[in-house]
Amino acid sequence: MATDRRISEVKCYFESLQKEICEALETRDGKTLFSSERIESDAGGYSIPRVLNDGDHIERGAVQYTYAKGMKLPAAATERNPGLAERPYEAVSISMIIHPRNPYVPTFHANLRFFLIDTENWHFGGGFDLTPFYPFPEDVLHWHRTAKRACDPYGYDLYEKFKAWCDEYFFLPHRKEQRGVGGLFFDDWNHGDFAQCFGLVKNIGDAILEAYLPIFDKRIGLTYTSKQREFQLYRRGRYVEFNLSIDRGTKYGIQSGRRIESVLASMPPIASWNYNWKPEKGSPEADLYDNYLRPRDWLRELNERN
């Protein structure tokens, strides 16, 4: 299957976005740089995994770009469209996750992807979500305002639709709780022509740093205790549970034969599980459970408070 202009345009944007995000995060960490390598696949694709380990402020960061080609779409890529199973495809994706050291700085995740099966069968997917340990209402408000601004030029109903989709997707059924405070999520998206859909994806990609960096900058200097660090590690365990048991991206990476080191680079370097742990009533830890780990109309509720 010959690569057409749509794949080329998406590749160019995703590679540029990877470079921009890595440079911004390296500047803020101040100590450690992202590794950089290009790994060729036997099928003709390649990946550029960039990983930052053991920085001053970023304990683990991964910003990974992948171009894949294959003769058969993996099962995880056709769950919602089984009619496309067994079809040749090309795919371009960028995924990122930041695990900060400071418990006051939320974990952040984003990904964007494009699948091309043939001239008529293509779609985008992606989004971004925030996982705080000690949340601040003003940070959550900023996050969702930025998400809405990214969507609005392409439909004033898109933010609500993608937010609800995000709340549904980033849910741990075995824990009966959200992974965090949500954001945007969309999949199999081809509403309108390619230019319109790609414009929306670029808006969301360009909003990533605008959404996250002000929160990072505001919280990175806060002093924290060993107890707060322990709670951060405990909550990171939920991240591991989600990625290994639910996340379609992880399943796709494993099923498509991607390099396992790259697939698992999204994992936190340290996490913990405490048997039957419960937060103390009225504590900041309880505040997370009571007020943040459930779907809420953040923009309406928090705007009313300000």
Q: Catalytic residues, which ones? A: 109
CA distance 236 to 242: 10
Q: What token pair was written down for 227?
A: 């107890």
Q: H or E stretch including 169?
A: helix 158-169
CA 287, 288, 292, 298 dihedral sign is positive
CA distance 151 to 159: 6
Q: What token pair was written down for 149?
A: 């601004």
Strands 107-116 and 89-100: antiparallel
Closest CA to 217 of 114, 139, 123: 139
Contact 131, 98 (CB under 8 A): no
Closest CA to 204 of 66, 97, 112: 112
Contact 6, 14 (CB under 8 A): no
Place of tokens 């008529």: 120
Contact 60, 99 (CB under 8 A): yes
Q: What token pair was written down for 38?
A: 């290009």
